[in-house]
Structure formats: C-alpha cells, structure tokens
Amino acid sequence: MKKFLLPLLLLIAFGFENVFATFVPTNLFGDKSIAAPHFLFIVLLFIVVYYNATNGILYGMLFGFIVDIVYSELLGMYLFAFPILAYLVSNAMKILQVNLFIVSSLVLISVGILEYYTYGLLLLLGRTNLSASAFFTDRFLPTLLLNGIFLVIFCFPLRKYILRIFAAVEEM
C-alpha cells in the first residue's frame, strides 16, 4: 500500500495544479501576465532529490506524458522535458549540498528552464508569436513568482512527507 503514496502525491499535485489554473485568474500579477503553475513538476523534483532519482525520472516520463495529453498541443514536449530535467537535478544534487534553500533554488531554476524550453519549442514550430521580451515580462517572471510562492508555502511539508514515505518504504 505504501508504494502507491508517491503516485498519489503526484496525482494530488496534478489535480491541484488543474484546480488552481481553473479557479485562480491567470493574470494574477498584472493585466497581460500569465502565471503558469508547475506544481506537479516541483513535487516531481522533490521526489528526485529526497526519495529516489530513478523513480523520479520514471514518474517524470509517466506524468510528462499525462501533462502532454491533457494540456499540451504538442505531444512529447513534457514527456521529454520532465525526465531530462529530473536527471539533471539528480546529478546536480550529487555535487551540491542537500539543504532546503539549495534544493528550492535549483527547483525554481528548473521551472525557469522548463518555461524557456516550452517557449523555444513553440516559437520554433511557429505555435506562438510572443516576442522574447514580452515572454520574459508577461509569462516568465509571473510564473517564477507563482511557483516561488508555492515553494515557500509547501517546501517544508512536502520535504517532510517525502522523507516520511522514504522511511516507511525502507522499513518494508
């Protein structure tokens, strides 16, 4: 039963991201701004850091595919991005010290990379006509701010929950 706690946590994050995007206006930080929640991706990276990198990468593939099906107009965009960024974060954490400030900073940097990757791919394929400066001010900064607020609120309980799951699975 305890092996289903991580997928359940990711499903809850996916659902919360969907509910948040539905009920909270996207122009939360200004008239033209669009703040995109990446709560599922943040939880995924916390799993990579505090639980197991292999499981985090596999969950990244699975939930990246689910995000592609539900939200994306380009199939495979998140299927590729989630596991690659999870792998890069796991390798960075082999070098860096695992404390909550460094982990949160690295997660926020990864959210920024994910945003730029998505923008660049959509720009390359002609699916967006947003200029780079407009993207930076209207999409990138509000997204980092929103996900930074989510990190500040949920980083302690999320870390504690994942470490508790890790301890419970180790007992088995």
Position 15 scores a pLDDT of 95
Q: What is the 3-state secondary structure (H, E, C) of 68-110?
A: HHHCCCCCCHHHHHHHHHHHHHHHHHHHCCCCHHHHHHHHHHH
Task: Report if pTM > 0.75.
Answer: yes
pLDDT over 90, % of the chain: 78
Name the pLDDT band for 1 (thresholds 50, 70, 90).
low
pLDDT category at 157 given cuts 50, 70, 90 is very high
pLDDT at res. 130: 92
Provide the pLDDT confidence category of residue 84 given band limits of 50, 70 and 90. Answer: very high
Cα atoms found within 13 Å of the Cα of residue 102, Cβ hemisphere only: 12
Average pLDDT estimate for 24-40: 85
The predicted structure's pLDDT at residue 32: 85
Which pLDDT value is given to residue 172? 65
Separation between Cα atoms, residue 116 and residue 136, nearest integer Å? 9
Distance (Å, whole) CA 99 – CA 156: 11
